[in-house]
Amino acid sequence: MSQWHPSSWRELPILQQPTYKDQQSLKDVEQKLSTYPPLVFAEETRALYSELGEVSQGRGFLLQGGDCAESFAEFNAPKIRDTFKVILQMAVVLTFSGRCPVTKVARMAGQYAKPRSADFETINGVEYPSYRGDIINSFELSQEAREPDPTRMLDAYYRSSSTLNLLRAFAQGGLADLNQVNRWNMTFVENNPLKERYQDVAYRIQDALAFMDIVGINAKNHPPLHETTLFTSHEALLLNYEQALTRVDTLTGKWYNCSAHMLWIGERTRQLDHAHVEFFKGIHNPIGVKVGPTMDEDELIRLIDALNPDNDPGRLTFITRMGVNNLEKNLPRLLKRVKDEGRHVVWSSDPMHGNTKKASSGYKTRNFDDILGEIQQFFAAHRAEGTHAGGIHLEMTGQHVTECTGGAYKISDEDLAECYQTQCDPRLNADQVLELAFLVADHLKSGL
């Protein structure tokens, strides 16, 4: 391979990419995007890198969550606000009840592309190109709508920019003020079986803030009480888009991808000699790699060598997605090998993708107990190996959808049709993620 450049990935094999019929339109879009302002800035990205470095050393916890795939049709302020609020609620529970600093990273403002198991799907006897996310084609069921359209990258950029603008306003404009912790409650909290436990946390925070105010520490002189930091992330699947938003930082001379603070490579595209790994080698963002049950220990070390040759804490996060029936026999061997070689990584659990199944009602779903079971096994494996369980990675929403069964409300297979809205994979709803946060906090607390 020649020296790394944002376009050097084009010299290698690549998977999970659309075939654009209009190549001139594709070039025009790439050129236009390359002149647009960055969505995030290198200094912000370095701040996340630093926080993840702390997590890798056992001094923090990564909370990463958001939609399976963002939708152009559901792009609106209330939806963004609700996801922001539920991430805040989870972080408060994890920080206060789990007694652990939490780094908040949203799967938002760019999670518009999705890998698929096949290029085509048959629906009602008709074959259509597979839906690959709104940045590529439309969910609408017609041959024309399913045709990959490069101009959709521009639509994704505009929506990502607007989402980031709103998230920054929420984070810095007072919505995240800890004095408002009770007002973060949405209507679901009123009927949630965990209502009393959440309100107890909120009241204890308010008591602590009242004491701090008496001794002169308040939001006026201590901004972290009034505002928060929320980073963004997505799977960097569509490299035409990612290359166009990769820029040189004028302060350091290093390349940064400016479409998000953190990017990850999926389970289907992490081949060492392929384009995605090549692209990730040269950007200086913190990066993630999805790790399934078939991952070989030697391959894992080769990935570390390729993506984090300097063994820099905060650079690399392994997001394990093994399934409740596979984690116990596969994760420990990987933890041991990485620990024995002294490699610095963040270990995060994605308990969603390995636990997807088809319900009796025909809907694709995930069961809350399976999700929780994988997280519990994740913590147990780390305790046994003496390593740090560094985070969770969830497909979730701040709305009251019915896509995953189980949880405190005991959503059944028959309930799924009530509010099944996902365009891709099933998401935990706001009630389920709050419940999960308390259970994860218990594990964090017991590990102190």
Helix 368-385, helix 327-340: angle, nearest 10: 30
Residue 221 is predicted with a pLDDT of: 73
Judge contact between 346 and 326, C-beta under 8 A.
no
Phi first, then psi, for residue 357 (nearest 5°) are -150, 175
List the chain pLDDT tens, one digit each, 448 residues: 569 999 999 999 999 999 999 999 999 999 999 999 999 999 999 999 999 999 999 999 999 999 999 999 999 999 999 999 999 989 988 998 888 999 999 999 999 999 998 999 999 999 999 999 999 999 999 999 999 999 999 999 999 999 999 999 999 887 777 777 666 654 545 666 667 777 777 778 778 777 777 878 776 777 776 789 999 999 999 999 999 999 999 999 999 999 999 999 999 999 999 999 999 999 999 999 999 999 999 999 999 999 999 999 999 999 999 999 999 999 999 999 999 999 999 999 999 999 999 999 899 999 999 999 999 999 999 999 999 999 999 999 999 899 999 998 899 999 999 999 998 899 999 989 989 998 999 899 887 5
Q: How far is CA 46 from CA 190, 229, 433, in A?
A: 39, 13, 28
Tokens in use for 202? 């909120």
What pairs with residue 264 in β-bridges? 235, 288
With helix as H, strand as E and coil as C, how does the chain read?
CCCCCCCHHHHCCCCCCCCCCCHHHHHHHHHHHHHCCCCCCHHHHHHHHHHHHHHHCCCCEEEEEECCCCCCCCCCHHHHHHHHHHHHHHHHHHHHHHCCCEEEEEECCCCCCCCCCCCEEEECCEEEECCCCCCCCCCCCCCCCCCCCCCHHHHHHHHHHHHHHHHHHHHHCCCCCHHHHHHHCCHHHHHCCCHHHHHHHHHHHHHHHHHHHHCCCCCCCCHHHCCCCCEEEEECCCHHHHHHCEEECCCCCCEEECCCCEEEECHHHCCCCCHHHHHHHHCCCCEEEEECCCCCHHHHHHHHHHHCCCCCCCCEEEEECCCCCCHHHHHHHHHHHHHHCCCCCEEEECCCHHHEEECCCCCEEEEHHHHHHHHHHHHHHHHHHCCCCCEEEEEECCCCCCCCEECCCCECHHHHHHCCCCCCCCCECHHHHHHHHHHHHHHHHHCC
Measure the CA–CA gap between 314 and 385, rounded to whole angstroms: 20
Domains of the chain as residue ranges with CATH: 27-117+153-176+227-446 (3.20.20.70)
- CA angle, 305 then 307 then 308, to 5°: 70
Which residue shows structure tokens 């990769």? 246
Q: Strand 255-257 vs strand 246-248: parallel, antiparallel, or unpaired?
A: antiparallel
